[in-house]
Amino acid sequence: MIIILKPHMGDDQIEQVISSLKAYDVAFDVSKGTDITVIGLVGDTSSVDREKVQTHPFVERVMSVSEPFKKSNRKFHPENTVVSVAGRQIGGKQLAIIAGPCSVETEQQICSIAEDVKKSGAMFLRGGAFKPRTSPYAFQGLEAEGLELLKIARTQTGLPIVTEIMSPKYVERFDTDVDVIQIGARNMQNFDLLKELGKTKKPILLKRGLANTIEEWLMSAEYIMAGGNTNVILCERGIRTFETYTRNTLDLSAIPAIKRLSHLPIIVDPSHATGSSMMVEPLAKAAVAAGADGLIIEVHNDPSCALCDGPQSIEPKAFERIMTQLRAYAELEGRTL
Amino acid sequence: MIIILKPHMGDDQIEQVISSLKAYDVAFDVSKGTDITVIGLVGDTSSVDREKVQTHPFVERVMSVSEPFKKSNRKFHPENTVVSVAGRQIGGKQLAIIAGPCSVETEQQICSIAEDVKKSGAMFLRGGAFKPRTSPYAFQGLEAEGLELLKIARTQTGLPIVTEIMSPKYVERFDTDVDVIQIGARNMQNFDLLKELGKTKKPILLKRGLANTIEEWLMSAEYIMAGGNTNVILCERGIRTFETYTRNTLDLSAIPAIKRLSHLPIIVDPSHATGSSMMVEPLAKAAVAAGADGLIIEVHNDPSCALCDGPQSIEPKAFERIMTQLRAYAELEGRTL
Amino acid sequence: MIIILKPHMGDDQIEQVISSLKAYDVAFDVSKGTDITVIGLVGDTSSVDREKVQTHPFVERVMSVSEPFKKSNRKFHPENTVVSVAGRQIGGKQLAIIAGPCSVETEQQICSIAEDVKKSGAMFLRGGAFKPRTSPYAFQGLEAEGLELLKIARTQTGLPIVTEIMSPKYVERFDTDVDVIQIGARNMQNFDLLKELGKTKKPILLKRGLANTIEEWLMSAEYIMAGGNTNVILCERGIRTFETYTRNTLDLSAIPAIKRLSHLPIIVDPSHATGSSMMVEPLAKAAVAAGADGLIIEVHNDPSCALCDGPQSIEPKAFERIMTQLRAYAELEGRTL
Amino acid sequence: MIIILKPHMGDDQIEQVISSLKAYDVAFDVSKGTDITVIGLVGDTSSVDREKVQTHPFVERVMSVSEPFKKSNRKFHPENTVVSVAGRQIGGKQLAIIAGPCSVETEQQICSIAEDVKKSGAMFLRGGAFKPRTSPYAFQGLEAEGLELLKIARTQTGLPIVTEIMSPKYVERFDTDVDVIQIGARNMQNFDLLKELGKTKKPILLKRGLANTIEEWLMSAEYIMAGGNTNVILCERGIRTFETYTRNTLDLSAIPAIKRLSHLPIIVDPSHATGSSMMVEPLAKAAVAAGADGLIIEVHNDPSCALCDGPQSIEPKAFERIMTQLRAYAELEGRTL
């Protein structure tokens, strides 16, 4: 941490600033110039509250030089994390393809889609049971019943299931029933939920919040990891910008950014990011080319009748065609599908 | 709801689109032009899923013409809502001024600040017990102990207390202990929490999410109101933009927007919006001039020692000075302080 | 400027970084810690290219500690700048109120509005002759003829005229004909135009760009001032965000920010910021309460027939009512109208 | 265009709205429902000013149903536009790769880089002569001298040259000297410059503005095309968002969006979008996978000594490696390099 003092501070004033920080277990390097005096804090500065230092009357500005995330930081864990899920791996050589409908609707629907996506090569089945909807008057998901239908589809196809949790009160149930627990964009900073999931060992798919920076995203991963659960998979799903042609703006630069900053696997959701079925194929290919560890794609047997998110769903046939193409892109990246 | 068909659709195709909507209890007005055919849905369209209609192969675009919020909508409730809290009112002639520290730290601290802000004319005491922090390594608040300290400060000063809830598991406790329950920006779309609070009758201070539109904000109010709790107070606290000089960008145009769209009271938080103590005074005055029903202001007896959010806190003396000024602005608006 | 080196750099490597900067007339303060080494550059670092230093292989990060703007910086010019225009002042005790239609349409129209706004107390007449329109098929303004009509209105009312320039080729003409030359949001970083205007002595109203930070805005003022023209008036007119209810998001925190960073006057345009006539009054009052030095307000005698920007125009009667109210707000701020 | 009237409008009021639009050459379809009355405007509505209609006292909302861009619209020109430049094509089967330094610095520098990028397969040489810099104190480019050096490099290598124009006064010179004229992001809505370039027949590389929507971008293309110059190439280069880890956020969904909306070719600039050399490779590959017609990449022989934009430049060797990889990705897309 670097503390820049206000101009023309004398030794007395420098000493006062240092005194105010004596409680922390850090050393101080003072560098005095003609205009500016800088105090460098050396040692473990993670406990020093930057905002608090900022308020000292002699301080002009405080700058962090080390990243605030520790357990998710590649500096302290250079090799990639590979998350194991029911005998499969996310973050390894094989790309993790997760596919399925936005919402679980009926047994017939979820089982049929599960069979279809499995045939095309999907490794995981997704499906929403508890749905976060902007409107209280919109379909909220089949909830507990939806979970049961997902389990039936898993039994029939062998595909591990990925579904979203919305409340700490369901953690135990999801821990038992589900293979990968998804945290949606709106709950990325639901810190109570993150803490509860940190107490499990279950793989967590952590979606990036609509208006969250890459650093805040890693800090949310840190909440889970600080609790002891290191099985975190990040998922880029678009951020909110001024552009209205797409639902959100998919930020593929997050892939090389995360690869540099962190050892955690990162997958991409082109369906929710764009809200447009015709964009799924080009952006799925782009995500693989940019180094993603996997994809999560919405597939519905009848998008025009889907109970939610129809416009971005693709049919099983389109999914099959995309998978065929992705195989070649994966190969170029030294990956398999 | 207005459905615009793709160009050159014949009667057969128009009929097919209408058929696909026969399940809804609505009437259809078809208007055919040389280029465009439009189908107007008349009646209660709130159950019609716009996104689903959008996926029909003959449909070009779907547009909503009625707002999706009902209970918070001024159209169906023209007079202002006034929320009663422990004998005081929010949304009436008197401006609601809520003041206090970001975090409750000690009994001495919260009681002393409570006395100070009361003397200056604050009507409510705020103070964080459960704190949503970006980092799991930062101070998370005194939690349950903080609530107890707030209650002591209430007993001493008579000021009703406002504090943030972060998990559905505390709803019962907050319902008993707290006068106004705050939902923070990060939890504005924590729908499970909103639903739980909708079951109480407790006044809810609903902060606008960092990246949420005014419409989404009202839809979150709708979640609470749909459950039966109409005591909702909105709080504008800045949105996330590209500008980095301020922490967020305070959107004061939200005040006239909310006043037109909704009957709910709206207050403004200049402290969190800007993250800068020197901006509290000008923006507090601006908020009153723009028609806000109140303010929530961070006050700390020693901002440079505050355990969080020091840079935006002001000292009791500064608060007193601001209150003196605000009185004159309130008067110009036909309000009292 | 502060250069943070990569971890574990030895004396040799530190020396190499310093050598690479020997061409600059600056001194070096090295502060070595166990984790981090920091080199402080002391002296006039304005010639040092931060981005270039950033690419040095031993450099982790470069941070500026001094603001890049000089002539517009309050640090080097503590007292407020007051710009004189035809015997009137902008930035002094009296608020500068600029009013008039978006576009000049006819002699009758501009003269009649000029008379009206003068009666209500406006000090300047605005009116667009050259119009920046998103579409090439939309009305582009009366251009040269519009300028002539503005001059007629000036002769009749004595109000100095404010109008927008769109091309360097008109600088000479505007310098002769116009009292205040406006640079629109879309041209805030049209550097060639800024340079040409820097060669005149004409007061320049510099609108903030739709997606420009406060620092970039001051750097554009710096382009004009570096050329020798210090008569710059800043104008906040809303920034582009995700919110679609208003045309843009008015950033009133820019007022205290500019007041702290710069000595230049700042006025506010509530009409273009919101795109909504019903928001003009509350946000005009808010701007004055937040410390603005003036306002620019669209007034049209028949908003529903205005050739552009009708939805945000107000009628002369509404303008009169707003002015009456503003007087009281100005007084509270120790200003006059 | 669809006009939604305010609730409960009678026949008289409907008639009044229609009367106010009688001047336009359009037909009217009225569809009356119990709640809502809608008037559809049929025919060529491009001359109807939507904002003006919006201000009518009986009108609730106006919605456009047809896109405002005509000449760039794929609906009226289904086949792809292929722009010919000095015997090469942009928008055809072969990807257009444009490479070179941010700024032209010396003859030796530009010629050496030109040779290098040509060897690796680049089809065009880029290099800035006139540079748009945020600060007036930063290097502004070699200007006219830079153009001369580019011409020397063209003579030596045969590579057509691409460089940015900043002022209408240079249009004639650029038309003579340059092969593709670039309009930078900051000038995307410099309408005077667009109009001047519309009078030439020169290929124009139109970069997307930092805060401009896809629709506004196409409207700027429309300015050039309306003047008679249909040789427009679009270039996505990142938009401004809240994320600060990258300089801007590259919006690759703009590729399928433009492909659907327009027949114009679109290329991608991963260097300026991210501001980070390590992101060039993954995002260049992603752009090709998403369907881009080409790339513009910054290459400098010594990025740490580049006079501007060093951090995002790559060395010729890195460029060669990227080109080798891109070949395979191009092939998967049925393209050549």
Q: If one looks up domain A83-332 in CATH, what number appears?
A: 3.20.20.70
Averaged pLDDT, A221-247: 97
User: Start-end ranges of CATH 3.20.20.70 in chain B?
Assistant: 83-332
Contact C174/D at CB under 8 A? no
What is the pLDDT, as a whole number, of residue A35? 62
- Portion 53-82 of C in contact with A at CB < 8 A: 60-61, 63, 65-66
> Within chain A, how many helices (H) and strands (E) appear?
11, 14
- C-chain CB neighbours of D191 within 8 Å are 132-133, 136, 166, 186
Nearest Cα to Cα of residue A149 among A120, A126, A124, A122:
A126
* Residue C36 structure tokens: 């981090």
Q: Closest CB to B27: pick one of D33, D63, D242.
A: D33
Whether A52 and B307 lie within 8 Å, measured CB to CB: yes
Render pLDDT for A271-312 as a digit per residue (tens, 0 to 9): 999 999 999 999 999 999 999 999 999 999 887 666 666 678
Averaged pLDDT, C36-58: 78
- Say what percent of chain B tops pLDDT 90: 74
Whether D51 and C308 lie within 8 Å, measured CB to CB: yes
Render pLDDT for B83-105 as a digit per residue (tens, 0 to 9): 999 999 999 999 999 999 999 99
- pLDDT classification of B305: cutoffs 50, 70, 90: low
What is the pLDDT, as a whole number, of residue A274? 94
Tell me the backbone φ, ψ of residue C230, rounded to 5 degrees.
Answer: -95, 5
- C-chain CB neighbours of B244 within 8 Å are 213
Whether C167 and D168 lie within 8 Å, measured CB to CB: yes
Render pLDDT for D186-235 as a digit per residue (tens, 0 to 9): 999 999 999 999 999 999 999 999 999 999 999 999 999 999 999 999 99
Averaged pLDDT, B164-184: 97
For chain D, the first-to-last Cα distance in angstroms comes to: 44
pLDDT at C271 over 70: yes
- D-chain CB neighbours of A249 within 8 Å are 239, 241, 249, 251, 253
The total of other beta-carbon atoms located within 10 Å of residue A180's CB is: 25
- B-chain CB neighbours of A308 within 8 Å are 49, 51-52
Q: Taking the model in full, what pTM does it have?
A: 0.92
Tell me the backbone φ, ψ of residue A259, rounded to 5 degrees.
Answer: -60, -35
- Say what percent of chain A tops pLDDT 70: 97
Judged by average pLDDT, the poorest of A73-87, B144-158, C308-322, D157-171 is C308-322
pLDDT values of chain D reduced to their tens digit, one per residue, 337 residues: 888 888 778 888 899 889 888 878 888 878 776 666 778 887 777 778 777 788 788 888 888 777 889 999 999 999 999 999 999 999 999 999 999 999 999 999 999 999 999 999 999 999 999 999 998 988 899 999 999 999 999 999 999 999 999 999 999 999 999 999 999 999 999 999 999 999 999 999 999 999 999 999 999 999 999 999 999 999 999 999 999 999 999 999 999 999 999 999 999 999 999 999 999 999 999 999 999 999 999 999 887 666 666 678 899 999 999 999 999 999 999 999 9
Whether D245 and A257 lie within 8 Å, measured CB to CB: yes
Q: Closest CB to B29: pick one of D33, D60, D63.
A: D33
- A-chain CB neighbours of D253 within 8 Å are 245-246, 249-250, 273-274, 279, 283
Contact B245/C at CB under 8 A? yes
- B-chain CB neighbours of D63 within 8 Å are 2, 63
SS3 D163: strand
Q: Chains near A, with 3+ CB pairs < 8 A?
A: B, C, D
Q: Closest CB to C68: pick one of D46, D56, D135.
A: D135
Contact A29/C at CB under 8 A? yes
Whether B27 and D43 lie within 8 Å, measured CB to CB: no
Whether A279 and D253 lie within 8 Å, measured CB to CB: yes
- Portion 92-131 of D in contact with A at CB < 8 A: none
Distance CA B296, CA B268 (A): 6
C-alpha distances (whole Å) from C123 to each of A278, B97, C277 are 55, 37, 21
Q: Which residue of D has its CA nearest to C46?
A: D137
Mutate to test the interface with D, among A243, A314, A321, A331 (most CBs of D within 10 A): A243
Whether B215 and C245 lie within 8 Å, measured CB to CB: yes
Displacement of CA B78 from its chain's centroid (Å): 19
SS3 A157: helix
Q: Closest CB to C241: pick one of A33, A42, A242.
A: A242
- pLDDT classification of B33: cutoffs 50, 70, 90: low
- pLDDT classification of B35: cutoffs 50, 70, 90: low
SS3 D145: helix
What is the pLDDT, as a whole number, of residue D35? 62
Closest Cα in chain D, distance from residue A211 (Å) = 7
Render pLDDT for C8-46 as a digit per residue (tens, 0 to 9): 788 888 998 898 888 788 888 787 766 667 788 877 777
Distance CA A47, CA A26 (A): 10
Of D75 and A218, the one with more pLDDT: A218
Distance CA B255, CA B291 (A): 6
Please answer whether residues A245 and A270 qualify as being in contact, where contact means their C-beta atoms are separated by less than 8 angstroms: no
C-alpha distances (whole Å) from A329 to each of A95, A282, D322 are 11, 12, 15
Render pLDDT for D37-87 as a digit per residue (tens, 0 to 9): 778 887 777 778 777 788 788 888 888 777 889 999 999 999 999 999 999
B235 forms beta bridges with B207, B267
SS3 C271: helix
Please answer whether residues D182 and D163 qualify as being in contact, where contact means their C-beta atoms are separated by less than 8 angstroms: yes
Contact D274/A at CB under 8 A? yes
What is the pLDDT, as a whole number, of residue C84? 97
The total of other beta-carbon atoms located within 10 Å of residue D278's CB is: 15
- B-chain CB neighbours of D242 within 8 Å are 240-242
Q: What ranges in chain B are assigned the alpha helix state H?
A: 11-19, 50-54, 107-120, 144-157, 171-177, 191-198, 214-226, 254-261, 270-274, 280-289, 316-332
Please answer whether residues A62 and A39 qualify as being in contact, where contact means their C-beta atoms are separated by less than 8 angstroms: no
Q: Closest CB to D40: pick one of B27, B38, B43.
A: B38
Q: Chains near D, with 3+ CB pairs < 8 A?
A: A, B, C
- pLDDT classification of A50: cutoffs 50, 70, 90: confident
Closest Cα in chain A, distance from residue C250 (Å) = 15
Contact A278/D at CB under 8 A? yes
Whether B253 and C274 lie within 8 Å, measured CB to CB: yes
Q: How many alpha carbons lie under 13 Å from residue A327 in its C-beta half-sphere?
A: 9
Closest Cα in chain A, distance from residue D80 (Å) = 18
The CATH homologous superfamily of the domain defined by A2-63: Phospho-2-dehydro-3-deoxyheptonate aldolase; domain 1 (3.30.70.1140)
Q: Chains near C, with 3+ CB pairs < 8 A?
A: A, B, D
Closest Cα in chain C, distance from residue A58 (Å) = 15
Whether C65 and A61 lie within 8 Å, measured CB to CB: yes
Mutate to test the interface with B, among A48, A49, A223, A247 (most CBs of B within 10 A): A49
Distance CA B76, CA B80 (A): 11
What is the pLDDT, as a whole number, of residue C39? 84
Contact D303/C at CB under 8 A? yes
Nearest Cα to Cα of residue C221 among C248, C250, C252, C191:
C191
Contact B244/D at CB under 8 A? yes
Name the DSSP class of C168. Answer: G
Contact D283/A at CB under 8 A? yes
Contact C203/D at CB under 8 A? no
